[in-house]
Copies of this chain bind each other. A is one copy, B any other.
Amino acid sequence: MSLIFSRQCEYALQAVLYLALKPLDDMTSIKELTKRLDIPYHFLAKILQDLTRKGLLSSLKGPTGGFGLGMPAKDITLFHIVEAIDGVEFMHNCVMGFPECSGKNPCAVHEKWANLRDGVYTMLVSKNIAEMAKNMRKPEYQSV
């Protein structure tokens, strides 16, 4: 199986994007997220805790508690989330895994991959999640 981001990272992207649809102040419980996004409860909990530790989210315990964005949505890009969960190694690594591949010693697809990878980067940074949330035809969240 090939996939560009880990499952954890996919879940993180989905969850943060969902939170971006909400007003900053009100907190969303794991329960709601897990229901709407169809992500295993405890697994999501750990991911959200991780994002909270890293400042992307904020959390509050108790009834009316939950998770919300840790900073204004206009300051968060998808790249921030990928960076926090998966790291940015994919920006440097050879797509065929050649350890010595580099500009000076390129593999057969070095240049092409470099372009594509830059395209991925652009995709991740060119819009903040506020813009995304605004004109997003909701990606089929599960009904409540």
A48 to chain B, nearest CB (A): 16
Copies in the complex: 2
Knowing A116-B116, A139-B105, say if A4 contacts B98 (CB, 8 Å): no
Contacts of A116 in B (CB 8 A): 116, 119-120, 123
Contacts of A25 in B (CB 8 A): none
Knowing A5-B95, A97-B13, say if A109 contacts B123 (CB, 8 Å): yes
Which residues of A line the B interface, CB within 8 A? Answer: 1-7, 9-11, 13-14, 17, 38, 78, 82, 86-87, 89-90, 93, 95-101, 105-109, 112-113, 115-116, 119-120, 123, 127, 132, 136-137, 139-140
Knowing A108-B17, A123-B116, A137-B106, say if A97 contacts B1 (CB, 8 Å): no
Do A96 and B2 touch across chains, with their CB atoms under 8 A apart? no
A139 to chain B, nearest CB (A): 5
A41 to chain B, nearest CB (A): 17
Do B2 and A9 touch across chains, with their CB atoms under 8 A apart? yes
Contacts of A86 in B (CB 8 A): 1-2
- Give 5 pairs: A residue, B residue, CB < 8 Å, sorted on A: A7-B97, A17-B108, A101-B139, A105-B140, A113-B123
Do A89 and B17 touch across chains, with their CB atoms under 8 A apart? no
Do A98 and B132 touch across chains, with their CB atoms under 8 A apart? no
Do A127 and B140 touch across chains, with their CB atoms under 8 A apart? no
